[in-house]
Structure 1
Amino acid sequence: MTAFTRQETQGDWGSLVWEIRSVNHRYLEPHLRLPDSLRELEGTLREKLRKALSRGKVECTLRFVPETQQQTLSVDRELAEQLIAAARDLESLIPDRQPLNPLEILRWPGVMRESEIDMNEVKKAALTLFGEALQDLAEGRSREGAELAQLIGQRLDGIEEVVAHVRKRLPEILQAQRDNLRNRLAELRVELDETRLEQEIALLAQKADVDEELDRLGTHVQEVRRVLKQKDPVGRRLDFLMQELNREANTLSSKSIVADTTQCAVELKVLIEQMREQIQNIE
């Protein structure tokens, strides 16, 4: 299901930005782009994705900008004290000793230290922000799902109208076929006893009987409506129901004996295909 979210947070360590894009896909296919300093979070992030989503091609991008202006310098006092003590010991060996220059002590490697970013805090913030981004993404997908459910509901209404039309027309179609058969026999002046004629009419009616297909179409429509109301992921279940609806539409077409029912079967297949395309976006 298509959705996008962007979440940002800041701290003493800098700023983090998550961008997550989700598009239609039959299975869950995550793609993660992380800074090298946060690469070890990938396993945890993938697990969170699997728990939150079941379908979709999901692209997750994390941007981390360290805060450089807040970095400060500090003195390693223990090392400085050791250097000063060593310098005092050497003063007696220097004939013309100069006063001890503090700047010379500070130039010694390791005396001056820059404050380092606590990456554990950054990782914790990145995971928290990722959870918030997933929540926002889920809400966006939920809103789109509600809109898709309405569109699918309109197609289901169309299927029920077609089924009702065929069911209403079926007796008329069968009677018209009986009359047509009788008229053709009369034109050909073929002598046929009534028993044989009724047998032929019965065979014709049996071939054209689509009550079972119409009943199954109605049952599948009700099942689709029921599944759409569920809170759990239903995409694969709906995929299966679309296959069953299409199967019944094909059977209806194969049993058609007039152009009207053939046209109705075509309309059914169009409606089913429109639903199938929408259902590919449903988790």
Structure 2
Amino acid sequence: MTLSSMTGFARSHGASGSYAWSWEIKSVNAKGLDVRLRLPPGFDGVEIPVRARAAEMLSRGNVYATLSVSREGVGPVVRINEPVLNAIVDAISRLSGKVDADKPRLDGLLGLKGVIDVTDAEESEEEKAAAEEAIVHGFSEAVTGLAQMRRHEGEAIGRVLSARLDEMAALAARAEKAPGRQPDAVKKKLADQIAILLEASSRFDPDRLHQEAILIAGKADIREELDRLAAHVAQARALMKAGGAIGRRLDFLSQELNRETNTLCAKSNDVELTNIGLELKSVVEQFREQVQNLE
């Protein structure tokens, strides 16, 4: 399975009978799947199958889908609202002896609100049902295109993530070979510090200092951090190879990578190790930022 991002855009359009329709779909990052539909009046019947299709194709993301529908080749139907017209004529008759005014003209009466209703020709239930079926099928085409675009972008993100993991592995190897963490170097540095303390004062107990030096050396050992970094990098690579909706799991791993890197920096007793740790932090942060875009 390939990786997919959570951002994408797609359109589809078509016609069924006198109906012409178009879908426009876009998606952005989100913790879960949230499908937000904008449907024209009278087409609520497509909502349930459309949501079901979106859930089949997508796992995460805020999805915004807008449906536009129009009827073409259908003549308008003009209806006179006779009760309203009769009421207006009666009112004019009652006022004719009280108000000095010209007689109302027909175009003036017809221009009054509510006297004329202009609507499309009546639609049949069969035609409407066929249109809804075509609209749902059109959504399937659009969401398929959206998923393809998200997979294409996911492949690009995957290449970036692989490069970041390679950098982490290379930096961990540098830390492994850093002269500052070799036993002889650590021993010499501690011995020099103890010698300085003994020269400064005779009140220090050499045996006590030796015990403290052993504790300090143990705390400064980054063996466990390097091992866990290697394990997390290996797990991230395995997840990416498997593919699918792995964004949340990679996000958790990026947090673990960041934790180990912070500990490595805190334990560092060498300038080179500190610099390596800071580089690792930068690469891990770049990895985490890209992971936020994955499904």
| Paired residues for 1:243-262 under 5 Å | 243-262=255-274
| Paired residues for 1:1-283 under 5 Å | 1-67=6-72, 69=73, 116=123, 118-169=127-178, 172-187=181-196, 188-189=198-199, 199-283=211-295
Asked whether the 8 Å contact 1:12–1:70 carries over to 2, the reply is no
The residue identity in structure 2 corresponding to 1:116 is E
Residue-by-residue CA offset, 1:69-112 (whole Å, 9 max, x unaligned):
25699xxxxxxxxxxxxxxxxxxxxxxxxxxxxxxxxxxxxxxx
Unaligned runs of 5+ in 2: 1-5, 78-120
Cα 1:207/1:72, change in 2 over 3 Å: closer
Asked whether the 8 Å contact 2:33–2:60 carries over to 1, the reply is yes
The residue identity in structure 2 corresponding to 1:21 is K
TM-score, structure 1 as length reference: 0.77
The residue identity in structure 2 corresponding to 1:153 is S
The residue identity in structure 2 corresponding to 1:19 is E
Figure out how many residues of one structure are paired with residues of the other and give that number.
243
Asked whether the 8 Å contact 2:180–2:270 carries over to 1, the reply is no
Equivalent-residue separation in structure 2 for 1:211 and 1:51 (angstroms):
45
TM-score, structure 2 as length reference: 0.74
Q: Secondary structure at the match of 2:178?
A: helix
Q: Secondary structure at the match of 1:229?
A: helix
Equivalent-residue separation in structure 1 for 2:294 and 2:21 (angstroms):
30
Deviation at 1:199, TM superposition (A): 4.2
Which residue number corresponds to residue 97 of structure 1? none
Cα 1:26/1:258, change in 2 over 3 Å: same
Equivalent-residue separation in structure 1 for 2:245 and 2:193 (angstroms):
57
- State which structure, 1 or 2, has the greater radius of gyration over its C-alpha atoms: 1
Asked whether the 8 Å contact 2:23–2:66 carries over to 1, the reply is yes
Q: Secondary structure at the match of 2:43?
A: helix
Deviation at 1:34, TM superposition (A): 0.7
Residue-by-residue CA offset, 1:35-80 (whole Å, 9 max, x unaligned):
112122212222222222111111001111112x25699xxxxxxx
Equivalent-residue separation in structure 1 for 2:259 and 2:236 (angstroms):
15
Cα 1:22/1:216, change in 2 over 3 Å: same
The residue identity in structure 2 corresponding to 1:128 is H
273-282 or 253-262, larger mean C-alpha shift: 253-262
The residue identity in structure 2 corresponding to 1:47 is A
Deviation at 1:276, TM superposition (A): 1.3
Asked which structure has the greater RCO (Cα within 8 Å, sep 6+), the reply is 2
Aligned alpha-carbon RMSD (Å): 2.7
Equivalent-residue separation in structure 1 for 2:32 and 2:264 (angstroms):
32
Cα 1:257/1:31, change in 2 over 3 Å: same
The residue identity in structure 1 corresponding to 2:289 is E
Which residue number corresponds to residue 108 of structure 2? none
Equivalent-residue separation in structure 2 for 1:204 and 1:154 (angstroms):
35
Deviation at 1:194, TM superposition (A): 8.4
Cα 1:62/1:222, change in 2 over 3 Å: same
Deviation at 1:15, TM superposition (A): 1.5
Equivalent-residue separation in structure 2 for 1:170 and 1:205 (angstroms):
15
Which residue number corresponds to residue 86 of structure 1? none
Unaligned runs of 5+ in 1: 74-113
Deviation at 1:172, TM superposition (A): 4.8
Identity percentage over the alignment? Answer: 39
Q: Secondary structure at the match of 2:129?
A: helix
Q: Secondary structure at the match of 1:37?
A: coil
